[in-house]
Structure formats: C-alpha cells, structure tokens
Structure 1
Amino acid sequence: MSPSGASARGGGRGGGRGRRLEEWDPEDVRFWETRGKRIARRNLALSIASEHIGFSVWSMWSVLVLFMSPRIGLPFTPGEKFLLVVTPTLVGAVLRIPYSHAVTRFGGRDWTVFATAVLLVPACGAAYFVQRPGTPLWVFLLIGALGGTGGGNFASSMTNITAFFPQRHQGWALGLNAGGGNIGVAVVQILGLLVIATAGDTHPSYVAAFYLPLIVTVSLLAALRMDNLPRPDRPAKGAWGEAVRCAHTWWISLLYIGTFGSFIGYGFAFGLVLQTQFGSTALEAASYTFLGPLLGSLARPLGGRLADRWGGGRVTAWTFVAMAAGTGGLLLASARGSFALFVGGFTVLFVLTGIGNGSTYKMIPAVFAERAGREVTDGRDALDAFARARRLSGAVIGIAGAVGALGGVAVNLAFRAAYGSEGGSGAPAFVAFLCFYALCVAVTWAVYLRTPRASGGAVGDPAPRRSGVSRV
C-alpha cells in the first residue's frame, strides 16, 4: 500500500478524542522521509517528557531520605532509609512487564496519558506526609511503592518508541528516549539541592509539590498530540511467550542488569552512601549526587549512536571492561578514605552505565532483525519475518527492562548489607559489583562477539538499510 495512505484520524467514540494511525511503515524509506519522521519525532518528544517525569517521581525517595532526620521528626536509621529507596525500585521493576504489554493492548498515546496522570497519587502522598513528624515507616513504604509506577513508564515508553522508528535509527531514538527519561533522576536531585540551599533541609514537601503541575501538563499534552499505532495482529500475543523461551532475552537481560541496574541502583543510593561512609550533610550529599545521573543520562544516546556505528556487542563489552576498572578505583578510594576520588570514580561509573544502557538496548532490535534477515534468506516472507522481529523486540524490551531494574534492587540491598553494621564499609558491595561486571564481559564476548554470524559480523552489528515495508 502506498505510504501516502498512512494518516492519523480521530478514533473511537467522541469524535476526535482518540488518535490512531491507520497504517505505519517506518522501514519504507520514502514513507519515512515524507511523513513518518515528523510523526515519530513528535511522539518521541512527548514520550521523553512523560518518561522524564516518571523517572523523577520514581527516584524522588533518593532525595527525600536525605531530609529525614530527628530535626523534622523522622529519625530513621540508615538501614530504614536504604529500605525506602529499595521499595520503589522493586515495584518499578515488577511493573515494567505489564506496562510494556499495556502499550500493545491500549495504544501508546492512551497508555502514556494514564501512566503519567497516575503519578499524581504518589506525588501528592509524598508532599503531604513527608512534612508530618512521627509518620511511621510503613506509610512512607506504601507511598514509595506507589511511586514505583514511575519506573514502569520506561518499559511502555521504550516499547512504543521502538515501533515508531526504523531499525536503522532505533539506537539513536531509544537512546534519546531513555536518556531523556533517565535524566529525571538527576533533575529531581538538583531540585532537592536547590530546596536545601534556599529553604533549608526541613522542607522536603517542596520537592514533591513541584511535580504536581508538571504531571497535569504532560498528561494533557500527551492526550492532545500523541498517536496510537495501528493495532498489532492477534499473533502478537504470542510474542511474549516466544520471548521468554528465547535465550537472547535472558542474555541481554543479564547485561542490562549490569548497565541499567547499576545506573538506577547507584542513582538511588549515592547520596545515602556519601552520608553513611563519609558523614556528609544533606547539603553536601545533594551537591554531588546529581552530577553522575546527569552525565550518565546524557551519555545514553551516545551509547546508542556508538552501537549504531560499531555494533552493540562491541560497545557493550568494552563498557563493562571500563566499569570493572572504575569499580576497582572505588575500592582504592574507599581504602584511602578519599572523598574526591570516590566521587570522581562514581561519576565515571555513571557515564559508563549510560553508554552501556544505550548500546545494550540497541542490541535487542538488532538481534531479532538479523534473525529475520536469515529467515528471509531461507525463504520466509519478508513482511512477516520483520513484523515478527518487531513484536519480539517489544516483548524483550519489556522483559529486559524489568530484569535490569531488579539489578537496582540488588545494588541497594548490597549497600544496605555492607553499611548495615556500625562502622560498615562499602568494600564488600564493590567487590561483588566488580565480579559481576567481569561476568558480563565474558557473556558478551562468548555470546555476541566470539562466533561470526551468517551475516558476516557479530550480533548487534549495524544493520543495513532496507527499502521494504514493515507493518506494526
């Protein structure tokens, strides 16, 4: 069908209340250049805004715990504070699979509106209770769990944007989408710093209240300007089962634990680590915690770009080598008690996790596109093969996103165990992280780099341009 047949129309009841594209062929070069690129970029911009707020609400407790002290009637121990940052991380990880599936069921636009608007609940709860002295820990754990809904936004957003862009541009698009979301971790920490610097460390409710009008605004913009893609074929339901049975799903999920799990785990815990290991005040901790997540978020699109050029497998492997070396630097800084070296080493690790996030996610569509290419060579219909690859990519993105976020839970539990006793050190946690990064290097080399593929390169290598049409 001619690309000119692709158009947006008001769908459903209410005349114009819904926007659904009748046809979407991003792999068709002519369609992409004449119409598709403009529509995809508009949806990408609003997807970034929604995901950004989701990450901010999700990671808000990494800032709020810095305020909690006897001065405001919330005398929680370091172990209880680490539990408060673990809770939203865990819930956000668990929600990523249903959130990813919800996009294909309800549509990217409709689900983005809901997933953004529902963040009003944890934001309002945090703004109200965090200023009430004597509030029990279980109340904050419940609000933190509700804040985990912001972590689910990542999976639905990434699944949606994957389908909007052609495979040859997905590294850049996914990196930009995820990076814009990830930067929400840094922004909420900068906001916490500004509140502490201007109003003092006894007004944590200002941090949560800041996001209330933003949530409403982005929800309305998503409703007015985003689009739903054509409904996928019924067999798409089987993509999740097929993805679960695919070995690549679990290899990539393991790698994503090392990249995104490290990013979100370090982002949530860094301020508490500085307070616990170096006795930093809330202002001192907030002054440094935002820098790493900021640079790591900005590095994520770079990781996607590098993967587009050099191949996701190669970039991911070298990133893990560098992360292992950086973790060794943290062990050295801990042994010497060097605050400057410790902060510098953590900042480098954040940048590396951002690069690794982008390159690892690039591997997902590349792996399945390469497999589709081999199926076409063996005689399978090209449209069917590449449509199936897209469905599998969306499912694997949801699974890998969920498993990767569980890595953030593991990071925070490791820190909680390491610093649990009086005078505890982070060294045992860093040794565990170093060993895991070494494992990731070995897996990337053995699965994606060691064996040449039928296409003549490693899995995750840049994909050639394809002039055919792929339907969603």
Structure 2
Amino acid sequence: MSTTTATDTLSSPALPSRLRRLCAPSRRVIRDWDPEDTAAWEAGNKQVARRNLLWSVATEHVGFSIWSVWSVMVLFMPPAVYGFTAADKFVLVALPTLVGAVLRVPYTMATAWFGGRNWAIVSGFALLVPTVLTWWLMANPGHSLAAFLVVAGLAGLGGGNFASSMTNINAFFPQRMKGWALGLNAGGGNIGVPVVQLVGLLVIATLGNRRPEVVCATYLVLLAVASVGAAVSMDNLDHRTADPKAMLEVLRHADSWAISLLYVGTFGSFIGFGFAFGQVLDQTFLAGLTGGAAPTPAQAAAASLHAAQIAFVGPLLGSVSRVWGGRLADRRGGAVVTVWTFVGMALAGVLVTVAAHSDDVTAGAATGLQLAGLVGGFVLLFLLSGIGNGSVYTMIPALFEAKSAALPGAAVERTSWSRAMSGALIGIAGAIGGLGGVLINLGLRTSYQGAGHSATAAFVVFTSFYVGAAVLTKVRYRR
C-alpha cells in the first residue's frame, strides 16, 4: 500500500500536470479541489484530506472541552464557598450551551470568509481568553453570579468551532465518505466533553475539589498545541465551503427544519446531558448523604468525587458511537438508522424516568437498583444520541445531492449547489441542535425547582420528544 503524500506526488513526472496543480498547495491554499475526482483522490488528495481532518479533530476537540469546562467547574464549587444553588449551577452550564449554539451560524460562514486553516488558528487562540478568566474566577470565589455567567458565556466560543470544522471537512471528502469523515470529525470533537470531565476527575481524586486551576492550566497548553498544529498542517480551499445566500435559501426548505429538529433530539441530548449528567448525579448523591439537609464540605466533596467518577462515561460512549453511527448510516441509510435510534432513546428515557420516579417515592438514599436504572438509562441515551448524531448528519449531504439531480444546468453547477446547501444546513442544524442542550438544562433546572425537587418531570418531557422524533423520521424520510 502506497504511503505517498500529496506533496510527494509533485515530483513524479508521470503524474499529469492537472493533478499536480490540484494537489499542490499555494500559500496554504488548494485550488480547484474536487473530492469526487477519483484519480486525483487516489493520487494524493486523500492524504491531504486526512491531514486536514486530523488537525480539524484536534482543534474541535479542545474547543468542545472549553465549551463544556463549566460542567466540570460546578463540581469544584461547594455551596459553602461559592454560595450557588443547584439551580444556579444549571444556569451556569446552560449559558455557554446557548452562546455556542448561536455562534454556530456565523462560524459556519467563517471558513468561507477566512479559510478553514486560518479560522482554525484564530478560533483556537481565542479560547485562551475564557480559559484564563475561568482560572482566575475559580481561584477567587466571592464574585456575583453575574460575573460567573459572563465568563461561562465566553466559554461558549468553543461551541462555535464545531460548525466551522464540520463545514470545512464536508468540502474535503467525497460523497461516499462523508458519513465516515463527518462522523469521525464530530466524534473526535464530541469526545472533548468526557475528556475534560476525566481531567476534572483526576484533579478531584488527587488534589480535592479546591484546585480547578489545574484543569485550566492543562487546557492552556492543549489550546496552544492544537492551534500551532493547525497553522503548520492545515490548508485553505479556494472555493467557498459555505455561502451566505445558501444560508438563507436553505431555510426555505421544509426538510431543513425537519432535519434540525431531529438534531435537537440527538446532539441536543448529547450536549445537554453531557453538561448536566454530572450535576444530576451530584444532586442524587448529595440527597443520599444528607437526607435533604445542607451538606457539609466533606459531604459536598464526596458527592462531587462520586459524580465525577461516573459522569465522563456517558459522553465518552456517545462520542465514540458517533463515528460508528456515521459509518453505519453510509451502509444502511441515514433515515433507517435515525428511526431506530429514536426508538431506542425513547425506551432508554422510560428507564431513566422509572428509576427517577422510584427514587422519588422511596425514603432515604437511592437503592443500588435505582442507581443502576438511572445510570444505565443515561449511558444508553448517550450511546444512542451519538449514533443519531452521525446518522442525521449523513442525511444532510445525501438529501441535497438528491435534490440537485432535479436542477437544470451542468453537473458541476449542481454539485456546487449541493455542497453550498449542505454546508449551510450543517451550520444551521448544529446551531439549532445546540439549543436543545440549553432546553435540557433549563428543563432540568425547572424540574428541580418544583415541589418534588426531582428531575422526573423533565425526563417525561424528553422521552415524549424522542417518540415524536421517531414518528417524524419514519413518516418523512424512511420512504
């Protein structure tokens, strides 16, 4: 098997001049890139695409970690020191989710305006600001909730990286490989959620829950490495990976809204539960340790450690399964995989709801069976939401590829239209899907503020949504 790179092929006199020009970056700009050109792909373009994919995953991965860093910081915030309630903490993790979701729309266009490589560098270094501010604020408790919300909102910059990265990589790979490439890119980014939680676990387990600056310091180093790597190894494409007009045009398609709604159910669940799972576990363990009384510092630390030991598992499985979901959708069809994903998520939601309700009506700490149902149901939700993330995104380029066949004009024009529309919807669906994470955290906050101080009511709503999403996919796309 040849290991020749695109750069190496330039020295081969047997390679046609057209392919040499196609594979040659000029000032880190690749011109006339056509991933559907099989000869150019095999001659070296696949190595170029994979190199860009590698560093795209790295920058998106660190961006996701910074986006979700407050899901870890809240475990370092005992009420006696910071003075925040459980409801306050749900707002702290909901705000960066909201900011990241909104930023996905302009970030989708950023690769067209600045280039995929250039924007990966700029957006990576920009994350140094919220990371440094998070370090400072956590090391200086006593500030108002508003100050914490401002800094948490800045961490939302990391959520926008997903849209620019996905739009960029979508343009590098041929249609037959988009499910795998987008799944790997997104999965590698998504795994930033459990990794930052695992870093938090290691810090809590070794240094206690009063050293959050260690987490921030770790990510200052990783941000620098990823941004420098992008500068050295990534490329810009000379054609637009997204089009402002396409962003408006795509909204006129009913399918765009339907796909976005499905992505609310998959990615919204992944990121929403990824941010909230640790807090749900923390509240469950605290209730068992204190019986509803105010926790002591030792009890708060013990609950945080127990929550951190489990919380990273769900997002980790959801991140890994996203890659598998994209590959499975390439083989079986995105709609087929998505239907069964939502059926499974509905069943997992029932399991979580039953376990939570059983704990509500039983005095004392949650039993082993109740905890098993709660944690097991959540793990299934993460696993299935990851598969659904991959399958829903696979539906996007396939949808517009099919629509383009009915358009007049040359094949290259139809391909350009399909590529622009797919890139636009990737950004829009990503933004709307991210809003699902906001709704999950706000739903849990409202549920905990209710008379029962329980998440059960929120779980009932989430499960009902999965049932509706399964029906929508079956009726509209399974045919």
The one of 80, 89, 106 equivalent to 2:114 is 106
Indicate the residue corresponding to 2:415 in structure 1. 386
- Larger CA deviation: 39-48 vs 279-288: 279-288
Indicate the residue corresponding to 1:343 in structure 2. 375
The one of 79, 96, 100 equivalent to 2:104 is 96
Instruction: State yes or no: 1:277 paired with 2:280.
Output: no
Deviations 1:314-333 (Å, cap 9, x if unpaired)?
A: 00010000000000000111
TM-superposed CA distance for 1:248, in Å, is: 1.3
Indicate the residue corresponding to 2:268 in structure 1. 261
TM-superposed CA distance for 1:10, in Å, is: 4.0
Q: What SS does structure 2 have at the residue aligned with 1:380?
A: coil
Deviations 1:342-361 (Å, cap 9, x if unpaired)?
A: 11110111000000000000
Code of the aligned partner of 2:106: P
TM-superposed CA distance for 1:7, in Å, is: 3.4
TM-superposed CA distance for 1:261, in Å, is: 0.1
The one of 123, 133, 136 equivalent to 1:125 is 133
Instruction: State yes or no: 1:157 paired with 2:165.
Output: yes
Instruction: State yes or no: 1:46 paired with 2:75.
Output: no
Code of the aligned partner of 2:255: H
- Quote the RMSD (CA, aligned, Å): 1.4
Indicate the residue corresponding to 1:240 in structure 2. 247
Is this contact kept in 1: 2:329–2:337, CA < 8 A?
yes
Is this contact kept in 1: 2:59–2:226, CA < 8 A?
yes
Q: Whole-Å Cα distance in 2 between the matches of residues 66 and 26 of structure 1?
A: 45
Code of the aligned partner of 1:310: R
TM-superposed CA distance for 1:214, in Å, is: 1.1
Code of the aligned partner of 1:317: V
Q: Whole-Å Cα distance in 2 between the matches of residues 268 and 28 of structure 1?
A: 42
Is this contact kept in 2: 1:277–1:425, CA < 8 A?
no
Deviations 1:419-472 (Å, cap 9, x if unpaired)?
A: 01464111110110111111111111111113xxxxxxxxxxxxxxxxxxxxxx
Q: What SS does structure 2 have at the residue aligned with 1:281?
A: helix
Indicate the residue corresponding to 1:5 in structure 2. 21
Is this contact kept in 1: 2:55–2:226, CA < 8 A?
yes
Percent identical residues: 52
Instruction: State yes or no: 1:434 paired with 2:456.
Output: no
Indicate the residue corresponding to 1:419 in structure 2. 448
Deviations 1:142-188 (Å, cap 9, x if unpaired)?
A: 11110000000000000000000001100000000000000000000
Q: Whole-Å Cα distance in 2 between the matches of residues 123 and 162 of structure 1?
A: 29
Indicate the residue corresponding to 1:35 in structure 2. 44
Indicate the residue corresponding to 1:454 in structure 2. none
Q: Whole-Å Cα distance in 1 between the matches of residues 449 and 87 of structure 2?
A: 6
Is this contact kept in 1: 2:162–2:189, CA < 8 A?
yes
TM-superposed CA distance for 1:128, in Å, is: 1.2
Indicate the residue corresponding to 1:401 in structure 2. 430
Is this contact kept in 1: 2:35–2:173, CA < 8 A?
yes
Indicate the residue corresponding to 1:185 in structure 2. 193
TM-superposed CA distance for 1:370, in Å, is: 1.2
Q: Which runs of 4+ in 1 moved over 6 A?
A: none
Deviations 1:359-398 (Å, cap 9, x if unpaired)?
A: 00000000011112343xxx53111101110000000000
Indicate the residue corresponding to 1:249 in structure 2. 256
Q: Whole-Å Cα distance in 2 between the matches of residues 183 and 142 of structure 1?
A: 25
Is this contact kept in 1: 2:90–2:276, CA < 8 A?
yes
Indicate the residue corresponding to 1:319 in structure 2. 341
TM-superposed CA distance for 1:2, in Å, is: 3.2
Code of the aligned partner of 2:376: G
Deviations 1:391-411 (Å, cap 9, x if unpaired)?
A: 000000000000000000000
Deviations 1:176-206 (Å, cap 9, x if unpaired)?
A: 0000000000000000100000001111121
Structure 2, unaligned stretches of length 5 or more? 1-16, 287-301, 360-369
Code of the aligned partner of 2:432: V
The one of 299, 305, 308 equivalent to 2:330 is 308
Code of the aligned partner of 2:36: E
TM-superposed CA distance for 1:35, in Å, is: 1.7
Deviations 1:105-141 (Å, cap 9, x if unpaired)?
A: 1100000001111000000001111011212211111
Q: Whole-Å Cα distance in 1 between the matches of residues 137 and 451 of structure 2?
A: 29
Code of the aligned partner of 1:66: L
Instruction: State yes or no: 1:221 paired with 2:229.
Output: yes
The one of 316, 320, 323 equivalent to 1:298 is 320
Q: What TM-score do the two structures reach when normalised by structure 2?
A: 0.89
Is this contact kept in 2: 1:120–1:215, CA < 8 A?
yes
Code of the aligned partner of 1:441: A
Is this contact kept in 1: 2:23–2:45, CA < 8 A?
no
Q: Whole-Å Cα distance in 2 between the matches of residues 237 and 85 of structure 1?
A: 31
**Would you say how many aligned residue pairs link Structure 1 and Structure 2?**
438
TM-superposed CA distance for 1:274, in Å, is: 1.2
TM-superposed CA distance for 1:20, in Å, is: 0.4
TM-superposed CA distance for 1:70, in Å, is: 4.0
